[in-house]
A and B are shown apart, each in its own frame.
Chain A
């Protein structure tokens, strides 16, 4: 151990007497380590931002027909929905099912392609839905009697009528071969984000997006009645109970449709958005970190290069040391310490630099990123940089130690 300290001291002496060169050698490691640390930290920050955003709305679960068991998947009826609503009672907020139709609507301004969502009154509070700003949503009565009423959003109102004070007004809606006069009972807000997207669409000449929500019984009037839905969205009271809600809904539906098989229903593959986005972010970070790690390897080769030059330059010194009784192991230890210290110091400087950069990015919120220093990245970077020094130091060190003392001394 005492000997080991001697080698460290020798190495430090030598690094000190070659300051400029030692620093240049470190530079490769510094750049490599600081970029790895910064990139992983940024990745970390992005990931937690994205995952947070995705985690906000997870109390809605979807139960769907199990396509592996049933051939016809449109098997969830209005009765099923009503049954779920009553059977599950207080544990849920709403049950909705919907079916999309494409139609055309006509007002005094013209005729437009329209997306019609045929659904239940609970759809008012569907996931990601904007709040109502005018009028009210269609009701269970509307649904029961198949009333020709609908809810549109502000943007659609602007397209169809030029203004948003259109509650009570009607327009002509055509789906398939049926045509109906439909009355507007409520207006949804169009979010600023949506407005922006729409403007981009318009700029690209993609035409107007007309979206209409109507009670699904209205489909009968167009001659395209909805026999059943393939999936139903259930919003639980809170995120924690959503799993339980989903499984009991699956059970209830299964028991109502035993004629179709053992398990005609299943919870939609928990396409857990946060997990998925997290995994994507991890992948991107890992890839970029890999690229940065390659720069570390390049740095390591730089260390090896300089150590080889150093061995050649110090052949005489090595000869003297061996002549005075240094064993092979002593010379190897001395040179390995030197390369490990050089790259270790480079690693420490790199971590400080990377940490500084991370803090700077966080404080300035460059690109809105909340970068957070990743401890594992720091630890791995430290070990890696010392490892680089040792691995890339071995060859030069062995080369130094193998010199025959007399050959080494004769070299000038």
Chain B
């Protein structure tokens, strides 16, 4: 079966010429449907840059990215918007909430662009906020929420539309251990529900909870391995790969 995500020798070069930065320097990888992968690496190694590519927010300087078999570089801006809207739930490194919209308003944004009716939208947004434990903060604006709460609004927004792919860039970066566990549980739950989850993290604990770990270093894939104590699905995959 075709992998959901297939990246071929992707490069991203900033300021070509004098002091150029090779944020991604020839990355190739495949991620299957339903995988739960962690991307780790030092600060500045290119994790976020890679994630932005996978989320169709950024385009590579060279190389190819196939999402669901489609070459993303051939798609128009509006087609990319539609993919981001329908296929991808993005949790940004810096929340990226709109300050003058309340929690519900932020969570329902992707649903608006799906053309969903108001009532339906509200219901789904409230459910999603409830799920991340913010059922009592529906009307609060980002400025009236703690960092961890804002992070959870961002999570709610990513999961509300039930996209098949969840991309999370340090979703627990600002959280205490308790909230970190909450969010990891949500991500694991989504994964169990059949979604593909990719998480960037500094935290080895979190990386250990994923099925697969991809370590990035200076824009290369330095290591790509399956975790010990694999889940059933991964055992199956492993078997398939072995055979």
Q: Which of A47-55, A238-246, A313-321, A376-384 contacts B (4 or more CB under 8 A)?
A: A313-321
What is the chain A residue whose CB lies nearest that of B114? A325
**Least Cβ–Cβ distance between B80 and chain A, in angstroms:** 9
A393 interface residue (CB < 8 Å to B): no
Q: Are B90 and A323 in contact (CB under 8 A)?
A: yes
With an 8 Å Cβ cutoff, the count of chain A residues facing the other chain is 23
What is the chain B residue whose CB lies nearest that of A405? B57
Q: In the complex, what residues of B have CB within 8 A of residue A327's CB?
A: 77-78, 81-82, 113
Q: Are B84 and A317 in contact (CB under 8 A)?
A: no
Q: Are A323 and B115 in contact (CB under 8 A)?
A: no
Q: Are B109 and A320 in contact (CB under 8 A)?
A: yes
Q: Are B113 and A325 in contact (CB under 8 A)?
A: yes
1/0 per position for A400-412, CB-CB distance to B under 8 A?
0000011001000
A74 interface residue (CB < 8 Å to B): no
Residues in A1-23 with C-beta less than 8 Å from chain B:
2-3, 6, 13-14, 17
Report which of A14, A324, A330 forms a contact with B84, defined as CB distance below 8 A. A324
**Least Cβ–Cβ distance between A17 and chain B, in angstroms:** 5
> What CA separation (Å) do A326 and B108 show in the bound complex?
12
Given contacts A17-B100, A322-B81, contact A406 B57 (CB under 8 A): yes
Residues in B81-113 with C-beta less than 8 Å from chain A:
81-82, 84-86, 90, 92, 96-101, 109-110, 112-113
A328 interface residue (CB < 8 Å to B): yes
Q: Are B115 and A3 in contact (CB under 8 A)?
A: yes
Report which of B81, B99, B101, B117 forms a contact with A325, defined as CB distance below 8 A. B81
What is the chain A residue whose CB lies nearest that of B116? A2
In terms of DSSP, what is the predominant structure of the interface of chain A?
A: helix
> What CA separation (Å) do A14 and B101 show in the bound complex?
9
How many residue pairs bridge A and B at CB < 8 Å? 63
> What CA separation (Å) do A2 and B113 show in the bound complex?
11
> What CA separation (Å) do A319 and B84 show in the bound complex?
12
Q: In the complex, what residues of A have CB within 8 A of residue B98's CB?
A: 317, 320-321
B52 interface residue (CB < 8 Å to A): yes
1/0 per position for B20-56, CB-CB distance to A under 8 A?
0000000000000000000000000000000010010
**Least Cβ–Cβ distance between B120 and chain A, in angstroms:** 11
Report which of B78, B97, B99, B117 forms a contact with A2, defined as CB distance below 8 A. B117
B58 interface residue (CB < 8 Å to A): yes
With an 8 Å Cβ cutoff, the count of chain B residues facing the other chain is 27
Q: Are A6 and B112 in contact (CB under 8 A)?
A: yes
> What CA separation (Å) do A278 and B168 show in the bound complex?
73
B157 interface residue (CB < 8 Å to A): yes
> What CA separation (Å) do A13 and B141 show in the bound complex?
13
Q: In the complex, what residues of B have CB within 8 A of residue A324's CB?
A: 84-85, 90, 109-110, 113, 157
Q: Are A409 and B92 in contact (CB under 8 A)?
A: yes
> What CA separation (Å) do A326 and B99 show in the bound complex?
18
What is the chain A residue whose CB lies nearest that of B86? A325
Q: Are B84 and A325 in contact (CB under 8 A)?
A: yes
**Least Cβ–Cβ distance between A4 and chain B, in angstroms:** 11
Q: Are B96 and A14 in contact (CB under 8 A)?
A: no
> What CA separation (Å) do A344 and B17 show in the bound complex?
50
1/0 per position for B162-184, CB-CB distance to A under 8 A?
00000000000000000000000
> What CA separation (Å) do A326 and B111 show in the bound complex?
10
Q: In the complex, what residues of B have CB within 8 A of residue A3's CB?
A: 115
Q: In the complex, what residues of B have CB within 8 A of residue A409's CB?
A: 57, 92, 96
**Least Cβ–Cβ distance between A344 and chain B, in angstroms:** 22
**Least Cβ–Cβ distance between A365 and chain B, in angstroms:** 49
Q: In the complex, what residues of B have CB within 8 A of residue A322's CB?
A: 81, 84
> What CA separation (Å) do A284 and B112 show in the bound complex?
51
Q: Are A406 and B81 in contact (CB under 8 A)?
A: no
**Least Cβ–Cβ distance between A256 and chain B, in angstroms:** 85
Q: In the complex, what residues of B have CB within 8 A of residue A17's CB?
A: 100
Q: Are B57 and A323 in contact (CB under 8 A)?
A: yes
**Least Cβ–Cβ distance between B167 and chain A, in angstroms:** 11
> What CA separation (Å) do A17 and B96 show in the bound complex?
19
What is the chain B residue whose CB lies nearest that of A322? B81
> What CA separation (Å) do A64 and B1 show in the bound complex?
103
Given contacts A2-B115, A13-B100, A323-B57, contact A328 B85 (CB under 8 A): no
24 intermolecular pairs with C-beta atoms under 8 Å apart: A2-B115, A6-B112, A13-B101, A14-B100, A320-B96, A320-B109, A321-B113, A323-B57, A323-B84, A323-B92, A323-B96, A324-B85, A324-B109, A325-B82, A325-B84, A325-B86, A325-B114, A327-B77, A327-B82, A327-B113, A328-B77, A328-B81, A406-B52, A409-B57
Q: What 8 additional pairs, Cβ within 8 angstroms, besides A327-B82, A406-B52?
A: A2-B117, A323-B92, A325-B82, A325-B85, A325-B110, A327-B78, A327-B113, A406-B58
Q: What are the 3 tightest A-B residue pairs by CB atom distance, in nearest-first order?
A: A325-B85, A325-B113, A406-B58
